[in-house]
Amino acid sequence: MDFWRLFGYAKTSFYHHDSPLFLPTKNTKTGEQPTNLLDLCKHVTPVCRLNPLLFNGHLQTFWTAVKSQDIPIYYKRRLFSAEEPQFAGTFAVDFAVNPYEGTDESLPPRTTYYNDGEFEDIGSMDTKPMLVTLHGLSGGSHEIYLRHVLRPIVDAGWEACVVNSRGCAKSKITTGVLYNARATWDVRQVVKWLRRTFPNRPLFGIGYSLGANILVNYLGEEGESCMLNAAVICSNPWNLEAGNLALQRTWLGSEVYSKTMGTSMKKLFEDHVDAISKNPRVDIEKVRNITYLYEFDRELQGPTWGYPTEGAYYRDASSCDSLMAVRIPLFAIHAEDDPIAVKEAIPFREFQQSPFGVLCTTSLGGHLSWFENGGGRWFAKPASQFLIQFFENIDLDKLEKKPGEKAGNGIGLGGKALASFNPMRRKLQIDVEP
């Protein structure tokens, strides 16, 4: 394997249930098409050959800081007000649109606002597939890694939108809280709105890094009621506590990755400090004195959401257990040398227990990187092709959302289960004050 690494080749592995989810195809000649989730995932996954000069996860991940090719995606933005009072505030959704003239200096490049007239007419009865995107930590619709996937999706005739986490992508914070790693409420509202506004459009989801964690939590919370038809996740950190401990074990993990992410979140905090300072639980000076990401989570996320420690927050927000409650086809792509979303946090055994998920890992690739010769990113190929092929070939009306067996074996005597594992048992309770 080391010999092939010299030429940039990465080993590709798949982890899955013994009986992967059956996929009913539109074409009755099923011999020419994949008929289960594993076959489809393998079918759309090309050989992983990366830039041989970027021969480990650190080099791949560092290369994201180097200016790369531009992939133009134009957006129109709409601000949504939260419908649920316990999640009060506004958030920004950017819709991919055709190229246009003009700019808005207050927004990311190639992004302007919808005017009221345009947005009132946005509804449609068409049957175009639509992709809902969740970005990574402190990112937004402008991130190049998600545009690598959006480009082939839009070129294939899809519609797409990006749900920007509150305060990200130059959006405003209108309440005293940022988003967190299990902030599923905004994507839930957007999916419901899309279903009402475009009643005939098949809906799909994709999440990157922290957005992948949020998306899996959302899918698990929705279960069999999920309105998305299928989803892809890339570089999901899965077990946030395990990832945090792994970062603190090494100099690079602590002084490069955790410090860089802490700095980016502290900048986001400063961009919205006037709004956040209205939250009496937050000690502004303590947040300003943080260095590492876990310190930011300790001093801001913990007090904001009522967690006593960052560890309690990580355990509650992790999506590794949520996987067992997912009831739509899910394709996960992950590099085993990812220095941020570390290998030890990947729920390999859970993927082997769930027919609804398939995990594809590569031995090289880093975090949201997978740089090929020429600057392309390998992961964009299986991610976009999975979605395109799924829509084109799978009979969405006949997809089964009920598991063949319950997650977990239950606890009991004489073959009778007295209790069973509930993967979505959450500790955080958000109540509306009377």
Among 297, 367, 369, 384, the active-site one is 367
Q: What is the mean pLDDT of residues 187-194?
A: 98
Lowest-confidence region among 237-241, 295-299, 417-421: 417-421
Q: What is the mean pLDDT of residues 370-376?
A: 93
Is 367 marked active-site? yes
Q: What is the mean pLDDT of residues 150-171?
A: 98
Q: How far is CA 158 from CA 49, 146, 182, 379, 430, in A?
A: 28, 15, 28, 19, 36
Residue 273 tokens read as 């400090």
Q: What is the mean pLDDT of residues 132-157?
A: 97
Question: 290, 299 in Cβ contact below 8 A?
Answer: yes
Neighbours of 35 (CB within 10 A): 16
Is 43 marked active-site? no
Q: What is the CA radius of gyration of the chain?
A: 21
Q: What is the mean pLDDT of residues 385-413?
A: 78
pLDDT confidence of residue 5: 64
Distance CA 271, CA 77 (A): 19
pLDDT confidence of residue 35: 84
pLDDT confidence of residue 267: 96
Name the average pLDDT for the chain: 92
Find the length of the chain: 434
Distance CA 223, CA 231 (A): 13
Q: What is the mean pLDDT of residues 416-421?
A: 64
pLDDT confidence of residue 369: 97
pLDDT tens, residue by residue, 258-309? 999 999 999 999 999 999 998 999 999 999 999 999 999 999 999 999 999 9
Q: Reduced to 3 DSSP states, what percent helix, strand and coil does the chain have, rounded to the nearest 5?
A: 40, 15, 45
pLDDT confidence of residue 414: 53
User: At 2, is the pLDDT very low, low, confident or very high (cuts 50, 70, 90)?
Assistant: low
Q: What is the mean pLDDT of residues 224-229?
A: 97
Sign for the CA dihedral angle at 98, 100, 104, 110 comes to positive
The continuous run of DSSP H or E covering 411 comes out as strand 411-413
Is the backbone of residue 251 left (phi > 0), alpha (psi -120 to 50) or beta?
A: alpha
pLDDT tens, residue by residue, 3-49? 566 688 999 999 999 999 999 998 756 556 668 999 999 999 999 99
Q: What is the mean pLDDT of residues 184-198?
A: 97
Give residue for tokens 């957006």.
75
Among 338, 363, 369, 384, the active-site one is 338
Sheet holding 130-134, edge to edge: 12-16, 357-362, 330-335, 230-234, 203-208, 130-134, 159-163, 90-97, 74-81, 111-113
Among 165, 209, 318, 363, the active-site one is 209
Distance CA 2, CA 236 (A): 26
The continuous run of DSSP H or E covering 266 comes out as helix 259-271
Is 155 marked active-site? no
pLDDT over 80 at 405, yes or no: no
User: At 434, is the pLDDT very low, low, confident or very high (cuts 50, 70, 90)?
Assistant: very low
Distance CA 207, CA 205 (A): 7
pLDDT over 80 at 418, yes or no: no
